[in-house]
């Protein structure tokens, strides 16, 4: 379940879904499979460097490596289709914004509680404290629905928190370069990301943004009570792009 997911498809629209910090493709797999079944589009869910293995591997990975993994997957999809739909959960949303700021082939962005700010109290001091504190508690399974598991690390290297803090700060400086339409999914009870991420994206991007509330869900909304709402909304967005491409 932590392995990357590759679903073949056809057409001019491809889907790239990105998991969050310390997480794995398991958090995006049901959504990716639902979109593939509904649209027939090619779908990719990469495993970010340092994730899905062990904490030592996580500690040695960097923000730049995470960005490169998303960019490489986008390039792979671009060889098959002319438009890309980027979908990201938490840090995956920030990575999608980073990619969209640097690509003109982004047709739509689905942001699911994106981490544009890091609200951990350790974050601003992660660089200086990393030599004293090796690991801090993780943020696994912020899900209201019982029986769900995103297969995330129970702890996180403090150095990795510093990488995330540094990376999302860079993303905030790039928001003005994002012109693709955005669907922003906002959970009613998010234990991880505060509303200031929503405010930052809303004020920073240059394209239209629609907010879809998820009143029954916590942070990992793709595995929570409102997951069907996410699937239906993004299916409609992808089908709209497919219809426009077919009519061109």
Beta bridge partners of 136: 156
> Is 108 designated active site?
no
The answer to whether 160 is a known catalytic residue is no
Residue 162 CB: number of other CB atoms within 10 A?
21
pLDDT digits (tens, 9 = 90+) for 5-57: 999 999 999 999 999 999 999 999 999 999 999 999 999 999 999 999 999 99
Q: pLDDT value at position 101?
A: 98
CA atoms within 13 A on the CB side of 72: 11
Catalytic residue among 24, 51, 190, 227: 190
CB-CB contact of 93 with 111 (8 Å)? yes
* Per-residue pLDDT reduced to its tens digit, 195-204: 899 999 999 9
77-109 pLDDT, tens digit each: 999 999 999 999 999 999 999 999 999 999 999
Residue in 24, 27, 90, 197 annotated catalytic:
90
Tokens of 130: 């990393």
The pLDDT of residue 162: 86
Report the predicted TM-score, pTM, of the whole model to 2 decimal places.
Answer: 0.94
Q: Are the C-beta atoms of residues 207 and 80 closer than 8 Å to each other?
A: no
CATH 3.40.50.1820 fits 5-247, yes or no: yes
Among residues 239, 237, 238, 217, the alpha carbon closest in space to that of 112 is found at 217
Active site residue 219: yes
Q: What's residue 174's pLDDT? A: 98
Cα angle 172, 72, 111; round to 5: 40
Catalytically annotated residue among 219, 224, 226, 227 = 219
Query: Mind listing the pLDDT tens digit for each residue in 122-148?
Result: 666 656 655 655 677 677 678 999 998
- Beta carbons of 37 and 107 less than 8 angstroms apart: no
């Amino acid at each position: 379940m932590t392995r990357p997911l590759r679903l073949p498809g056809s057409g001019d629209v491809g889907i790239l879904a990105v998991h969050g910090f310390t997480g794995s493709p398991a958090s995006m797999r049901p959504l990716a499979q639902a979109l593939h079944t509904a649209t027939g589009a090619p779908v990719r869910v990469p495993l970010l460097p340092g994730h899905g293995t062990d904490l030592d591997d996580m500690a040695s990975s960097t923000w730049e490596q995470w960005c490169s993994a998303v960019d490489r997957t986008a390039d792979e999809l671009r060889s098959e289709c002319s438009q890309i739909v980027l979908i990201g959960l938490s840090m995956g949303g920030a990575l999608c914004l980073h990619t969209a700021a640097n690509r003109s082939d982004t047709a739509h962005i689905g942001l699911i509680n994106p981490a544009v700010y890091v609200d951990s109290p350790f974050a601003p001091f992660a660089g200086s404290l990393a030599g004293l504190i090796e690991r801090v508690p993780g943020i696994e399974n912020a899900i209201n629905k019982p029986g769900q598991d995103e297969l995330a690390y129970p702890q996180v290297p403090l150095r990795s928190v510093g990488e995330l803090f540094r990376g999302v700060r860079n993303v905030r400086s790039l928001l003005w370069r994002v012109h693709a339409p955005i669907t922003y999914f906002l959970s009613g009870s998010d234990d991880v990301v505060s509303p200031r991420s929503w405010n930052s994206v809303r004020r920073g991007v240059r394209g239209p943004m629609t907010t879809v509330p998820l009143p029954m869900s916590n942070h990992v909304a793709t595995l929570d009570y409102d997951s069907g709402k996410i699937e239906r909304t993004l299916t409609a967005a992808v089908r709209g792009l497919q219809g426009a491409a077919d009519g061109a």
